[in-house]
């Protein structure tokens, strides 16, 4: 293999090319075809992650109520949390799904609880 071919195919191939070999083992470059991500899959993944991040907060509140212990959340906060969780569950059935600008919005106080 010439030095020019080596430089082009092996050393300086770049990130948008993949090296393959012909039947005789001679390397050559082919373009990497970018994989298009499925927006609906990406949104469901985001939604699932959001639910996982806040489920503990709902569970803690329910446990505190069952134990008749002091609760961390006020009643209005708990209702807002449950409403947000339901909106997340319903998100994939929304006519606006999977457009990011229509995602369910978390209550502002939630960031302080989950930080």
Give residues with Cβ within 8 angstroms of 77, minimum separation 6.
107, 109
Backbone phi, psi, residue 20, to 5°: -125, 170
Q: What is the C-alpha separation between 67 and 57, in angstroms, rounded?
A: 15
pTM of structure: 0.69
Percent of the chain with pLDDT over 90: 63
What does the pLDDT look like over 37-93, one tens digit per residue? 899 999 999 999 999 999 999 999 999 999 999 999 999 999 999 999 999 999 999
Residue in the structure block whose two tokens are 């991500």? 37
């Amino acid at each position: 293999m010439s030095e020019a071919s080596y430089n082009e195919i092996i050393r300086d191939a770049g990130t948008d090319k993949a090296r393959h070999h012909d039947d005789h083992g001679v390397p050559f470059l082919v373009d990497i075809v970018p994989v298009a991500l499925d927006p609906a899959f990406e949104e469901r993944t985001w939604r699932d992650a959001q639910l996982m991040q806040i489920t503990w907060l709902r569970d803690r509140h329910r446990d505190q109520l069952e134990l008749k212990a002091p609760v961390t959340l006020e009643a209005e906060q708990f209702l807002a949390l449950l409403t947000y969780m339901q909106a997340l569950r319903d998100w994939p059935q929304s006519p606006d799904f999977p457009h990011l600008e229509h995602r369910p919005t978390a209550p502002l106080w939630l960031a302080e609880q989950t930080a």
